[in-house]
Structure 1
């Protein structure tokens, strides 16, 4: 629906009135032609003589637009344009004809003539400038697009699409730093105002940062996307960005697979099989059994695959043995002189059988011992706290993690925050 309606005009020998619409890549709301100069336009005699017959034909029902393009772009018509009012009227006609013919170059010529006329009203100038930017963007002239779009924003054009197009144009100019800066500004403005950034904006930010191989903004934007729009796709993307940038080993990958499972984002047989592999049927048979059963129920893995069949069989047998040994494992971990490794293994065993509170207690015990793998155990403690519903303490735990595991715990911390908010 148009946001502005045509305003009544005083009589003149030319009446150029047709809808002005931006045609940017993102699809923008239609605008009707804004007011021309408040005073009656003063067209040059040559322009009236050359353009009046064309204008009359433009107003007819079902005009021959292709023929009109040839007539309107003829040298004698172009050369008749002398005054600013001529430029405004001629530019408007060219723009609208370009829309009818889906001719972006004609649209660009038209809108630039109108802007250069100096006759576009102050109220409408931001919109016209934005239109010029979107057309330049569609014509792959990203430098010009960014110039127009930045000017539109400086003139007060508020649509989110302006800033996101600026960022995309900067990225396509190979100005990744500038592009990320635009995304940062716009997203933070939304957050500061208490509004949720648009999903499309966050997706564009993730895509731009990832394609330019920037780890930190890729992580930040993917976490924001999963936080504000949680589903299997957004959580899956956030996890895969970590995996692709960092090339984690099995222990780190396991904790990312656990997040996918918690977020209901395991959505392929390859992911289920990877989870089974990194968990290890001998190390965490209870968890392997549960994951294998879930994958089979979802129809994403099959017993006909020997790897899956073997994992299911061995995990079924071994998980019962571990379940019977849980008390003994915990006692050994608490014994005087026991190592951090023993407490960690006992915690892992409890975790794999969904004994999350007990697992958290054993991980905390491991942290008191000198031989502890601190970052791994802190990560596992935080995950156990999340799974036990202790979200506030989980976030405090994740904040203590340093080094390469920070990318993992930032994701888990966002998930804990999400769970805490219901």
Structure 2
């Protein structure tokens, strides 16, 4: 038996499976043979030495028959391991040559599968190389849409310590495309949470992918959880609008909301500067008017006009503006209602008056009256705490807002949780 060191020249795999692998160097003399390493059968030593020289020179024509001789004469596990490294190098050189000759031709990585599988099964494969070989095998399976195999090999590569920018996403996509949506999204959530815990954030595409898959699977609870994480990490005005609409303002939204809850979502769009067009401003203004809040209706219409998103010549806008102005004139003084609410036997008038102050952007008075309504009782505590949290959030009392919003349960809980995210992650652009 001949001895060979495990030193090697490295070769780079192109295409989907780009990785480095190490090929044992063939001993050239007795001194090298005495060193620890692979023990090769005498029958293959000459062919192995010549094959290594040819492969190092990228001489495919010379190397091909020599590699075949090594494979044919392999008797021991060490022989088989060396033959597999030679075959892998040879097939990769062929792929590189083909790619250079015809860059636009699709690459067939299937000749790499057999040597890779042999290396994976070999106890001689160095631990440092195991992860990259598993990754390469998984990437080939993924390209062939063999998602179950891809998930297996890629997960093993990660467990073996291999790391790359796209490994986690390949594992996730392998599971999802293979039918394991829950497992893929769970992995993706794990990546997101790990990045967050480390003070970083996962790529934005990860959140979008997880959200789309959970929505498609009709897992609304998981989708809403991802949505909140996404907004906390990437709180742009565009993302805020997208998530608010998906949550409760579109057909087939995650949550089924009544008009009062939708009004509070429009208020969140206003606070996050994510009202996008005249449809948003018009719907918001109409919902405020329908809830008896003409001051808020007029404010929204004026802001829409000021931004250029709600043309003042819009006939529906002009009519709503006129109607709201008349209603505001007939509303009378809120101060009188506030005083009466303080002596009222229950909190209903206090809540109604607080709603009017909230619509008029007088958040401090609104908060005082919401607290009075809660103290007196006879009101929907969840709704009142939600509105109290909104008033405090808009006035800058973050701690007070989060306390009020945290006490909200029932149908208003989701809206309250979105407002809580806003308190912690206001829009960045």
| Aligned equivalent of 2:333, options 309, 312, 325 | 325
Is the CA contact (8 Å cut-off) linking 2:55 and 2:89 kept in structure 1?
no
285-294 or 304-313, larger mean C-alpha shift: 304-313
In structure 2, relative to structure 1, the CA distance for the partners of 1:285 and 1:131 (3 Å cut) is: farther
1:381 is aligned to: 388
Task: Work out which of the residue numbers 211, 222, 228 in structure 2 matches 1:223.
Answer: 228
Q: Please name the residue that 1:154 is paired with.
A: 159
- Select the residue among 22, 28, 42 that pairs with 1:35: 22
Residue 267 (structure 1) shift:
1.9
Return the alpha-carbon distance in structure 2 between the equivalents of residues 93 and 299 of structure 1: 65
**TM-score, reference length from structure 2:** 0.78
* Greater alpha carbon shift after TM alignment, 193-202 vs 362-371: 193-202
Pick which of 88-97 and 40-49 moved more: 40-49
What residue is the counterpart of 1:23 in the other structure?
16
Q: Distance in 2 between matches of 1:420 and 1:106?
A: 49
- Other-structure match for 2:82: 85
SS in 1 for 2:133: helix
Q: Shift of the alpha carbon at 1:121?
A: 3.2
TM-aligned CA distance change 1:316 to 1:336, over 3 Å:
closer
Corresponding residue SS for 2:387: helix
Residues 77 and 373 of structure 1, relative CA distance in 2, 3 Å threshold: farther
Instruction: Give unmatched runs, 5+ long, in structure 1.
Output: 1-8, 25-29, 61-67
Relative distance call for 1:281 and 1:51 in structure 2 (3 A) is same
CA distance in 2, matches of 1:279, 1:107: 67
Q: Would you say 1:310 and 2:319 are equivalent positions?
A: yes
Match of 2:420 in 1: 413
The 8 Å contact of residues 334 and 353 in structure 2, kept in 1 or not, is answered as: yes
Aligned partner of 1:340 among 335, 339, 347: 347
Contact 1:170/1:178 (<8 A) preserved: yes
1:4 maps to what in 2? Answer: none
Deviation sequence 1:275-307 (CA, Å, 0-9, x none): 123222661222222222233333333345432
Change in 2 beyond 3 A, CA 1:380/1:400: same
The aligned residue for residue 276 of structure 1 is: 285
Distance change >3 Å, CA 373–CA 175, structure 1 → 2: same
Q: Please, what is the CA RMSD of the aligned residues?
A: 3.8
Task: Point out the more displaced range, 357-366 or 340-349.
Answer: 340-349
Q: Deviations over 1:54-92 (max 9, x none)?
A: 9699659xxxxxxx9xx98xxx89986963323222223
Runs of 5+ consecutive residues of structure 2 not aligned to the other structure: 28-37, 75-79, 100-104
For 1:19-418, list aligned pairs within 5 A: 19-21=12-14, 23=16, 31=19, 33-37=20-24, 40=27, 44=44, 83-95=80-92, 97-98=94-95, 100=99, 101-106=105-110, 109=113, 111-112=116-117, 115-116=120-121, 120-159=125-164, 161-243=166-248, 244-280=253-289, 283-319=292-328, 322=331, 325-337=333-345, 339-418=346-425
Q: What TM-score, normalized to structure 1?
A: 0.79
Query: Is the Cα–Cα contact under 8 Å of residues 333 and 343 in structure 1 kept in the other structure?
Result: yes
Please list the CA deviations of residues 251-293 of structure 1 after superposition, one character each: whole Å capped at 9, or x if unmatched: 1111111111111122233322321232226612222222222
Contact conserved, 2:312 with 2:318, CA < 8 A, in 1? Answer: yes
Quick check: which has more Rg, 1 or 2? Answer: 2
8 Å contact kept, 1:232–1:267:
no
Decide whether aligned partners of structure 1 residues 290 and 130 sit closer, same or farther in structure 2, where only a CA change above 3 A counts.
Answer: farther
Cα distance in 1, alignment partners of residues 171 and 73 from structure 2: 32
CA-to-aligned-CA distance 1:197-254 (integer Å, 9 cap, x gap): 3333333322222222211221111111111111023212332332111121111111
How many angstroms apart in 2 are the aligned matches of 1:318 and 1:81?
A: 96
Task: Identify if the C-alpha distance between structure 1 residues 287 and 51 changes in structure 2 by more than 3 Å, giving closer, same or farther.
Answer: farther
Alpha-carbon contact 1:222-1:234 (below 8 Å) kept: no
Aligned 8 A contact 2:224 2:247 in 1: yes
